[in-house]
């Protein structure tokens, strides 16, 4: 599903953000990406969605080498990856429903599919009844659920969550991870970047640790 092959990313100022990384995340897997600030996690994610280009090596996503992808095909790559941000990145002048539906309109989904998917993802993240609420009428946890629903709306095979619980209290964070696990159980590949050591240690999932751009640990049932 996702594979980095001899991947290197060097910046002009001499910093090597990704240093000869080789790893593979299989379809349907749930993996954590951890490491201190400056370890290369953000670059890892930017390379995956082609916001950055590698210096050398290959990135395979869903069987395709995206390092060879033409600019016009990048939107199609990003439809395969639902991205959930720590700061939610919701449109605060639009309702929950409108935030989610926008993702479907961008890909020109038919109206019938839009209605069906809206209902499905609202149920999946536990927001039925909140469709007409605006983000500022919701708790932080509910806003994160809207962001998750929006990422799920286009049925991507991969969900990437970048510090999805960084601004949430422990109980709400646990609920968000329960939702991610439920989504994963339906076959979606999940990659979570997090500093939440307690959650990582409790879930007994794969842990990939970066430090100075290198993979220093990759355990199928790991801890932070």
Domain boundaries, the chain: 90-140+148-153
Q: Tokens representing 14?
A: 């001499």
* CB of 89 closer than 8 Å to CB of 147: yes
pLDDT for residue 31 is more than 90: yes
Average pLDDT over residues 194-200: 93
Residues 202 and 224: their CA atoms lie apart, in Å, by 10
Over 90: is that where the pLDDT of 24 sits?
Answer: yes
pLDDT band, very low/low/confident/very high, at 147 (cuts 50, 70, 90) = very high
Distances (CA, A) of 215 to 34, 45, 76, 127, 152: 10, 14, 29, 37, 29
pLDDT at 13 over 90: no
Quote the pTM value: 0.92
Looking up tokens 């990939």 gives: 208
* Mean of pLDDT values over 33-45: 95
How far out from the chain centre does Cα 183 lie? 12
pLDDT, position 66: 95
Among 153, 152, 164, which Cα is nearest to 85's?
Answer: 164
């Amino acid at each position: 599903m996702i594979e980095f092959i001899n991947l290197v990313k060097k910046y002009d100022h001499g910093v090597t953000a990704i240093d000869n990384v080789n790893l593979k995340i299989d379809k349907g897997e749930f993996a954590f990406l951890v490491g201190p600030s400056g370890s290369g996690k953000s670059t890892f994610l930017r390379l995956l969605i082609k916001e950055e280009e590698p210096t050398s090596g290959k990135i395979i996503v869903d069987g395709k080498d995206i390092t060879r992808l033409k600019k016009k095909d990048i939107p199609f790559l990003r439809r395969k990856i639902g991205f959930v941000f720590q700061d939610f990145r919701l449109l605060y002048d639009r309702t929950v429903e409108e935030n989610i539906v926008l993702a479907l309109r961008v890909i020109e989904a038919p109206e019938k599919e839009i209605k069906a998917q809206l209902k499905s993802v609202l149920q999946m993240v536990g927001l039925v009844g909140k469709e007409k609420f605006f983000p500022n009428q919701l708790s932080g946890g509910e806003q994160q659920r809207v962001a998750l629903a929006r990422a799920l709306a286009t049925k991507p095979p991969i969900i990437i969550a970048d510090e999805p619980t960084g601004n949430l209290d422990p109980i709400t964070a646990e609920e968000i991870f329960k939702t991610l696990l439920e989504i994963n159980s339906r076959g979606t590949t999940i990659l979570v970047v997090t500093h939440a050591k307690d959650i990582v240690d409790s879930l007994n999932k794969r842990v990939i640790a970066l430090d100075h751009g290198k993979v220093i640990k990759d355990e199928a049932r790991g801890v932070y």
